[in-house]
């Protein structure tokens, strides 16, 4: 205890007495120690002393004492632990044990063993990549201890890493979306404390070919003209240009084309078969691109057939095609003219086919003429003339199918026919061809057949034949040769006994059969008159129960178209003679006297009186007989009177 006192007072303080000892390191690391790179190493430093000394470590060359870090720990007992020994950890380490009474130190040399110089796997000296692709440049360190650091150089200069495009992955250099400007010599250097290693790769950035946007994709050329198809392209390395035609490869130098150094395809003389789709195929190692280019070869119209003008013959109402098959490119506009005027199509019996031909479904005569097919397109035009001749089947104009002529007169039979070509007219009679001659049978240019001085034998069926290349027509005419009526006996006279019937026959010939009418005293006899009976079939007239009043001239009139004939029938109705004085008269005269004898007789007509004596006729002129010289020996017993009606036949 320490006491302090004075007049004013005192104070005291206890004092503790420590008996100390200076530090002494009793366990120190060996003066030369070490371990392999990457291993954990412990450097012991155990000290005694009083008070307990503080242990601190120092590395020669480093500033200050070592402090704890992620790799170094100073344990409470003073041990220094170095985790994952690194090359930089090698050196001289001093352990300081210090207290109030002094300091003790221990020195050790730390070595790092297991060091290897870097080594990098071999890589391809060239890396070819396509622009916009991702590329990884390898730098695989197969050995090196401590692990080497990796650095990248481009064309001898440190890499300038662009955020988002350049990055390192486990030693590899990754370049996203490679640019053409990224091409060059890339060097990877692996370095550690032992040394370094490097590899170099030539990065070649290929650009896929592209065809410039302003390339013409459609060409038009007229046949026989030249044309050049261009296909300007870019790419790295310089692309090659190949051409295809309608999908098939073609050579660079063909019979009808060639490809120049710029890749353009030239066709010196374009033909229709050159038209189509050409494909420009641009190729380099980075890829390929193609473009279709259409080549339209305009072919001037040409019309099938060797001649520019043709003639067609057809028959009316038949179908017919006026050919105009046009070949051209592009398809031609086709139009038709007829006799110089455009052909109308509305409501017609024809139409234009897809090939250009004019098709008549049912041709008519009015369709004949000169037709011109005109084909036009951008390359030119051409024409074809078609003369259409429509043959018309002959037609004979209607006329009477019956004709008549009177014997001896002239008859003309018309055969008015039309057709195309003009029909030839011929005639037949009853199926036999008529032989014409100037005397009686004459055929006019119009075809009319004239019969001169007609004869009955000319009657028959005549056929007019009108023929041409298109066909035939016929007209049949029945010809009647009329014969004028002829009454065989134009006058007849009959005496008919009263009260008798009489039949009068009108024996008539003629053609056609004459129509017979009967007249009495120039007045027509009515068929309704019961006195008369007319036989329609024979034309005979029967007069019933004749009376004296029926005595008259009866007329038969026979008529037909050829004429009229008349025949007269004189009918005398007679009464038989009748002696009216009734009895036999006995006349007595003296010989030598005149004997006068009368004979009164009634008859119609008056009778002729004759006298007979002793059956011998006596010539007298009247009904009275006078015998001037009456002798008995010359006249016998006496005369006899006979009364007769002479001259006309007597119908009993």
Q: Of the candidates 618, 486, 517, 504, which has an alpha carbon nearest to the alpha carbon of residue 550? A: 504
Mark whether 109 and 120 lie in a shared domain. Answer: no
247, 251, 255, 256 alpha-carbon torsion, rounded to 10°: 50
The answer as to whether 537 is a domain residue is: no
CA distances from 248 to 229, 244, 269 (A): 17, 5, 21
Mark whether 406 and 378 lie in a shared domain. Answer: no
The tokens of 237 are what?
A: 């390395």
The answer as to whether 337 is a domain residue is: yes
pLDDT at residue 646 in the model: 47
Residues 423-437: pLDDT tens digits? 999 999 999 898 887
Work out the average pLDDT over 269-296: 92
The answer as to whether 498 is a domain residue is: no
Classified as helix, coil or strand, 548 is: helix
Mark whether 382 and 450 lie in a shared domain. Answer: no
* 383 confidence band (pLDDT: 50, 70, 90): very high
Q: Of the candidates 578, 419, 534, 398, which has an alpha carbon nearest to the alpha carbon of residue 477? A: 398
CB atoms within 10 A of CB 254: 13
Q: Where are the beta strands (DSSP E) in 44-125?
A: 46-50, 54-59, 72-74, 80-82, 91-99, 102-113, 116-120
Q: Is the pLDDT of residue 608 over 90?
A: no
Q: Dmax of the chain from CA atoms? A: 287
pLDDT at residue 632 in the model: 46
* 626 confidence band (pLDDT: 50, 70, 90): low
User: DSSP label at 634?
Assistant: H
Distance CA 64, CA 288 (A): 68
CA distances from 552 to 87, 115, 516, 571, 639 (A): 189, 187, 19, 6, 37
Backbone phi and psi for residue 632, each to the nearest 5 degrees, phi listed first: -70, -30
* Least confident span in 16-30, 89-103, 117-131, 200-214: 16-30
Mark whether 25 and 109 lie in a shared domain. Answer: yes
Mark whether 96 and 154 lie in a shared domain. Answer: no
Q: Is the pLDDT of residue 609 over 50?
A: yes
Domain termination site, one of 392, 409, 440: 392
The tokens of 111 are what?
A: 């070595």
* 636 confidence band (pLDDT: 50, 70, 90): very low
Mark whether 138 and 64 lie in a shared domain. Answer: no
285-318 per-residue burial string, b: 16 or more CB within 10 A, e: under 16:
ebbebeeebebbbbbbbbbeeeeeeeebebbbbe
The tokens of 523 are what?
A: 């007045």
Q: Is the pLDDT of residue 258 over 90?
A: yes
Higher pLDDT, 182 or 598: 182
DSSP 232-247: -EEEESPPEEEEEETT
Domain termination site, one of 90, 113, 136: 113
pLDDT at residue 597 in the model: 72
Mark whether 401 and 472 lie in a shared domain. Answer: yes
Q: Are 410 and 398 spatial neighbours (Cβ–Cβ below 8 Å)?
A: no
Work out the average pLDDT over 435-462: 88
pLDDT at residue 85 in the model: 86
Q: Of the candidates 208, 154, 199, which has an alpha carbon nearest to the alpha carbon of residue 181? A: 154
Work out the average pLDDT over 198-205: 93
Work out the average pLDDT over 183-211: 92
Work out the average pLDDT over 347-354: 86
pLDDT at residue 592 in the model: 76
* Least confident span in 15-19, 292-296, 378-382: 15-19
Q: Of the candidates 459, 441, 461, which has an alpha carbon nearest to the alpha carbon of residue 450? A: 441
Q: Of the candidates 568, 574, 567, 640, which has an alpha carbon nearest to the alpha carbon of residue 610? A: 640
| Percent of the chain whose predicted confidence (pLDDT) is above 90 | 46
Q: Are 102 and 123 spatial neighbours (Cβ–Cβ below 8 Å)?
A: no
pLDDT at residue 185 in the model: 95
Question: Which position has the token pair 């006309």?
Answer: 648
Q: Are 505 and 555 spatial neighbours (Cβ–Cβ below 8 Å)?
A: no
Q: Where are the beta strands (DSSP E) in 121-180?
A: 126-130, 135-137, 141-145, 149-154, 157-158, 166-169, 172-175
Mark whether 34 and 69 lie in a shared domain. Answer: yes
The tokens of 571 are what?
A: 């009918």
Question: Which position has the token pair 């990796």?
Answer: 150
Work out the average pLDDT over 373-378: 93
Work out the average pLDDT over 69-87: 88
Work out the average pLDDT over 268-275: 91
Domain with 422 in it: 397-483
Mark whether 230 and 261 lie in a shared domain. Answer: yes
Mark whether 167 and 123 lie in a shared domain. Answer: yes
Mark whether 278 and 332 lie in a shared domain. Answer: no
pTM listed for this prediction = 0.49
pLDDT at residue 308 in the model: 82
The answer as to whether 496 is a domain residue is: no
Q: Are 323 and 375 spatial neighbours (Cβ–Cβ below 8 Å)?
A: no
The answer as to whether 43 is a domain residue is: yes
Distance CA 615, CA 610 (A): 11
Mark whether 99 and 122 lie in a shared domain. Answer: no
CATH number of the domain to which 405 belongs: 2.60.40.10
Q: Are 220 and 228 spatial neighbours (Cβ–Cβ below 8 Å)?
A: no
The answer as to whether 541 is a domain residue is: no
Distance CA 3, CA 14 (A): 9
Backbone phi and psi for residue 636, each to the nearest 5 degrees, phi listed first: 70, -155
Distance CA 164, CA 124 (A): 26
Which residues lie across from 211 on neighbouring strands? 233
Q: Is the pLDDT of residue 652 over 70?
A: no
pLDDT at residue 633 in the model: 46
The answer as to whether 555 is a domain residue is: no
Q: Are 387 and 400 spatial neighbours (Cβ–Cβ below 8 Å)?
A: no
Domain termination site, one of 282, 299, 316: 299
Q: Are 211 and 222 spatial neighbours (Cβ–Cβ below 8 Å)?
A: no
CB atoms within 10 A of CB 13: 8
| Percent of the chain whose predicted confidence (pLDDT) is above 70 | 93
Q: Of the candidates 134, 188, 198, 120, which has an alpha carbon nearest to the alpha carbon of residue 158? A: 188
Q: Is the pLDDT of residue 174 over 90?
A: yes
Q: Are 507 and 486 spatial neighbours (Cβ–Cβ below 8 Å)?
A: no
Distance CA 587, CA 626 (A): 11
Q: Is the pLDDT of residue 570 over 60?
A: yes
The answer as to whether 5 is a domain residue is: no
Q: Output the CA angle 78-83-89, nearest 5 degrees.
A: 90
Q: Is the pLDDT of residue 596 over 50?
A: yes
CA distances from 307 to 19, 304, 310, 384, 601 (A): 147, 9, 7, 8, 116
* Total structural domains within the chain: 6
User: DSSP label at 253?
Assistant: B
Q: Are 83 and 72 spatial neighbours (Cβ–Cβ below 8 Å)?
A: yes
Mean pLDDT over each residue of the chain, to the nearest integer: 87
Distance CA 108, CA 586 (A): 242
* 635 confidence band (pLDDT: 50, 70, 90): very low
Residues 394-403: pLDDT tens digits? 999 988 889 9
């Amino acid at each position: 205890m320490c006491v302090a006192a004075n007049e004013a007072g005192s104070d005291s303080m206890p004092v503790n007495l420590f008996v100390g000892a200076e530090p002494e390191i009793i366990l120190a690391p060996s003066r030369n120690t070490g371990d392999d790179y990457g291993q954990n190493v412990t450097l012991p430093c155990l000290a005694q002393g009083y008070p307990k000394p503080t242990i601190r470590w120092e590395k020669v060359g480093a500033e200050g004492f070592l402090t704890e870090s992620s790799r170094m720990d100073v344990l409470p007992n003073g041990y220094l632990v170095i985790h994952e020994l690194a090359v930089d950890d090698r050196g001289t380490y001093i352990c300081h044990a210090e207290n109030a009474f002094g300091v003790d130190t221990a020195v050790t040399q730390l070595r790092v063993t297991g060091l290897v110089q870097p080594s990098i796997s071999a890589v391809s000296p060239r890396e070819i990549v396509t622009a916009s692709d991702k590329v990884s440049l390898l730098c695989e360190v197969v050995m090196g201890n401590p692990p080497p650091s990796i650095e990248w150089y481009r064309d001898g200069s440190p890499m300038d890493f662009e955020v988002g495009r350049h990055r390192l992955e486990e030693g590899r250099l990754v370049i996203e979306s490679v640019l053409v400007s990224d091409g060059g010599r890339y060097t990877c250097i692996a370095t550690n404390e032992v040394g370094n290693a490097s590899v170099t790769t030539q990065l070649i950035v290929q650009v896929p070919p592209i065809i410039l946007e302003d390339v013409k994709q459609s060409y038009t050329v007229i046949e026989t003209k030249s044309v050049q198809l261009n296909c300007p392209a870019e790419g790295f390395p310089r692309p090659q240009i190949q051409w295809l035609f309608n999908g098939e490869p073609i050579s660079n130098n063909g019979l009808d084309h060639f490809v120049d150094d710029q890749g353009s395809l030239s066709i010196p003389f374009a033909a229709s078969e050159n038209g189509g789709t050409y494909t420009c195929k641009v190729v380099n190692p980075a890829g390929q691109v193609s473009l279709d280019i259409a080549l339209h070869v305009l072919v001037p119209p040409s019309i099938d057939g060797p001649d520019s003008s043709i003639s067609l013959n057809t028959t009316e109402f038949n179908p017919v095609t006026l050919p105009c098959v046009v070949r051209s490119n592009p398809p031609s506009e086709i139009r038709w003219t007829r006799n110089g005027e455009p052909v109308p199509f509305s409501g017609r019996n024809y139409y234009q086919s897809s090939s250009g031909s004019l098709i008549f479904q049912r041709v008519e005569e009015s369709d004949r003429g000169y037709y011109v097919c005109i084909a036009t397109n951008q390359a030119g035009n051409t024409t074809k003339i078609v003369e259409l001749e429509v043959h018309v089947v002959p037609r004979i104009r209607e006329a009477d199918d019956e004709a008549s002529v009177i014997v001896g007169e002239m008859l003309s039979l018309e055969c008015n026919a039309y057709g195309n070509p003009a029909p030839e007219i011929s005639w037949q009679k009853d199926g036999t061809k008529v032989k014409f001659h100037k005397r009686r049978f004459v055929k006019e240019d119009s075809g009319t057949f004239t019969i001169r001085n007609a004869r009955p034998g000319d009657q028959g069926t005549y056929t007019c034949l009108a023929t041409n290349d298109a066909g035939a027509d016929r007209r049949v005419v029945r010809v009647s040769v009329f014969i004028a009526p002829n009454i065989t006996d134009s006058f007849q006279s009959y005496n008919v006994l009263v009260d008798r019937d009489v039949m009068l026959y009108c024996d008539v010939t003629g053609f056609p059969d004459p129509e017979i009418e009967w007249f009495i005293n120039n007045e027509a006899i009515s068929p309704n008159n019961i006195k008369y009976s007319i036989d329609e079939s024979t034309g005979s007239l029967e007069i019933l129960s004749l009376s004296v009043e029926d005595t008259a001239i009866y007329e038969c009139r026979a008529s037909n178209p050829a004429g009229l004939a008349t025949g007269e029938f004189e009918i005398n109705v007679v009464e038989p003679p009748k002696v009216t004085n009734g009895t036999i008269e006995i006349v007595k005269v003296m010989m030598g006297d005149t004997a006068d004898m009368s004979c009164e007789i009634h008859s119609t007509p008056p009778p002729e009186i004759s006298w007979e004596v002793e059956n011998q006729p006596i010539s007298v002129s009247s009904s009275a007989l006078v015998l001037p010289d009456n002798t008995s020996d010359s006249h016998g017993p006496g005369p006899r009177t006979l009364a007769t009606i002479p001259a006309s036949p007597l119908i009993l």
